[in-house]
Homo-oligomer: A and B are copies of this chain.
């Protein structure tokens, strides 16, 4: 029933992932077809369906393969500056129309398919968010963040608005916007200023 990964043809696997990325770049996600991927890769359709659930799973796999497993944030000691850099980088990615369109398409796919969403979350999203969390932990130990702050929530406080605005097209995504979010979040987590006044 279930195919044995041992006997899997690595060459075909690579050809499929490569073909998928090529076609994605050429035609865009919506026009992407399992049949086209198979044809480009010189592979039977069944070979794709044997190992993946559909084109979404293939693309996700291809993207996740390209992503480094561990990401680390810069730590200059200045939390605000470091966060600004991260959020500005995210804004820049969303500003590139081609990259943005692709990311949007994949994201949509993961929203519709729960299993795909779990994969995307674990392999693409979580590493990013976790890197920010690590940076926040360092800031907390440095006394720049309230000890009682729920850092997972803080991370979402940073990225949630960005994704919200990007996905729902709810306004322009600019560096100023990113900076504003960072300022608000920093204000939210900064320890009581009663002493520093």
Interface string of A174-191 (1 = CB under 8 A from B): 000100110011011100
Is there a chain B Cβ closer than 8 Å to A162's Cβ?
yes
A104 to B166, CA, bound (A): 17
Is there a chain B Cβ closer than 8 Å to A156's Cβ?
yes
Residues of B within 8 Å of A104, CB to CB, are: 111
| Interfacial residues of chain A within 99-129, with CB under 8 A of chain B in the complex | 104-105, 107-108, 110-112, 114, 117-118, 121, 125, 129
Is there a chain B Cβ closer than 8 Å to A157's Cβ?
yes
Name the residue on B nearest A126 (C-beta). Answer: B170
A33-41, A55-63, A147-155: which one contacts chain B?
A147-155
A184 to B152, CA, bound (A): 12
What is the total number of residues of chain A having a CB less than 8 Å from a CB of chain B?
A: 45
Known A164-B156, A164-B163, A184-B154; judge A118-B169 contact (CB<8 A): yes
Is there a chain B Cβ closer than 8 Å to A193's Cβ?
yes
Is there a chain B Cβ closer than 8 Å to A165's Cβ?
yes
Is there a chain B Cβ closer than 8 Å to A46's Cβ?
no
Known A161-B153, A161-B157, A169-B114; judge A184-B194 contact (CB<8 A): no
Residues of B within 8 Å of A180, CB to CB, are: 150, 153
Residues of B within 8 Å of A118, CB to CB, are: 169
Residues of B within 8 Å of A184, CB to CB, are: 149, 153-154, 157, 185, 188-189
| CB pair A157 B181 closer than 8 Å | yes
